[in-house]
Amino acid sequence: MTHKIFWSAPYQTELDTVITHLDGDQVQVADTIFFAFSGGQESDAGTLGGHPVLTAEKRDMSIVYTLPAGHGLQAGDAVKMHIDWERRYRLMRLHFAAEMVLQLVYQLRPGIERIGAHIAADKARVDFASETSLAPLFGEIEAATQRLVAAGLPIVTAFSDEQAGRRYWEVEGFARMACGGTHPRTTAEVGKIRLKRKNTGKGKERIEIMLDAGLQTA
């Protein structure tokens, strides 16, 4: 099992760790700050032992990192891990922006079904099963997100089942949701967002979420 420090310390950008298993170009480490694609959130970018991480993949309770051929590392080697902080921070902010939008759509359209989500560093999206446009809700959603941002409420993250690796986030008075992604400390860090509607097919509605302001600093 890989010890996932990105959950307890999502603002940490470098880490000394040890290679525990190696299969050609696929490497596992004892501890990691490098998030692997999960729950719609894209993987971090960065390096391991001075080599670029090409892919990061969850396998049960472990994470496998693929390095370029000829990396020369061996099991037992002490290595340093670095992540691209600018990318991580945008992913964190966009992830929670998407979570706010999702919860607000649930409140405004009770019973609506989420059918997909994706969080990249340039924008996030949430897909819903809906026969009618969600665009008329955008004014209320944007106003509500800005109230949450202005309030600067703490975003609490913790385990609901540590042995199974299940986690959640909670903003008191707003919502609680199962989630294993990385999030900022407070709603204030999300900043102002912009929404865009897309129809991706019959009975499907997509809300795209962009950060309106420049990159915030942690």
Q: Compute the Cα dihedral for 147, 156, 29, 59 and give only its sign.
A: negative
Q: How far out from the chain centre does Cα 64 lie?
A: 18
Q: Using CA atoms, how far apart are residues 53 and 44, in angstroms rounded to an integer?
A: 9
Mean pLDDT of 142-164: 96
What percent of the chain is predicted at pLDDT more than 90? Answer: 92
52-to-43, 63, 65, 68, 121 alpha-carbon distances in Å:
13, 16, 10, 7, 18
CB 215 within 8 A of CB 201: no
Q: Using CA atoms, how far apart are residues 42 and 54, in angstroms rounded to an integer?
A: 13
| pLDDT at residue 2 greater than cutoff 90 | yes
| Token duo for residue 63 | 């994470």
- Among 207, 192, 176, 218, which residue's Cα sits nearest to residue 88? 218
CB 5 within 8 A of CB 31: yes
Predicted confidence at residue 218, as pLDDT, reads 53
Express each pLDDT in 101-144 by its tens digit: 999 999 999 999 999 999 999 999 999 999 999 999 999 999 99
Mean pLDDT of 170-179: 96
Predicted confidence at residue 184, as pLDDT, reads 97
| H runs (alpha helix) in the chain | 5-8, 85-108, 138-151
Helix axes 85-108, 138-151, angle to 10 degrees: 120
Residue 213 confidence class, pLDDT cut points 50, 70, 90 = low
CB atoms within 10 A of CB 190: 27
Residues 6 or more apart from 35 whose CB is under 8 A from it? 6, 41, 43, 44, 56, 83, 88, 91, 181, 182
